[in-house]
């Protein structure tokens, strides 16, 4: 089995959700990714830290994050909602 980093697990979980996801969804889905180890006592805090990495993710609104690599293919209603919150 290939070892997966925690960041890769968050990216994979978000891709499975169409390129964006709520933190609540990520808290559940990331743990389903095979090959990743969550040895921390606070995996939810780790996920919150990971999604703040602007190299991979962008904030759509509070609690909702998107993948930079899929930004151009997100549903229009997600993008419009993001732009109205600026």
Cα 55–chain centre separation? 12
Which residues of the chain register pLDDT less than 50? 85-86
Residue 56 lies in a domain: yes
Residue 16 lies in a domain: yes
Tell me the pTM. 0.87
Query: What local confidence, expressed as pLDDT, does residue 1 receive?
Result: 62
Residue 1 lies in a domain: no
Residue 27 lies in a domain: yes
CATH number, domain at 71?
A: 1.10.10.10
| Count of structural domains within the chain | 1
Residue 80 lies in a domain: yes
Query: What local confidence, expressed as pLDDT, does residue 17 receive?
Result: 94
CA distances from 60 to 1, 7, 20, 41, 53 (A): 34, 19, 9, 27, 14
Nearest residue to 68 via CA among 58, 80, 78:
58
Which residue range is the domain that position 43 belongs to? Answer: 6-84
């Amino acid at each position: 089995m290939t070892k997966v980093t925690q960041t890769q697990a968050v990216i994979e979980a978000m891709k499975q959700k169409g390129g964006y996801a709520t933190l609540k969804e990520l808290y559940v889905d990331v743990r389903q990714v095979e090959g990743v180890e969550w040895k921390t006592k606070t995996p939810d805090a780790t996920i919150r830290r990971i999604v703040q990495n602007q190299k991979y993710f962008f904030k759509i609104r509070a609690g909702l994050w998107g993948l930079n690599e899929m930004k151009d293919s997100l549903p229009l209603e997600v993008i419009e909602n993001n732009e109205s919150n600026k």
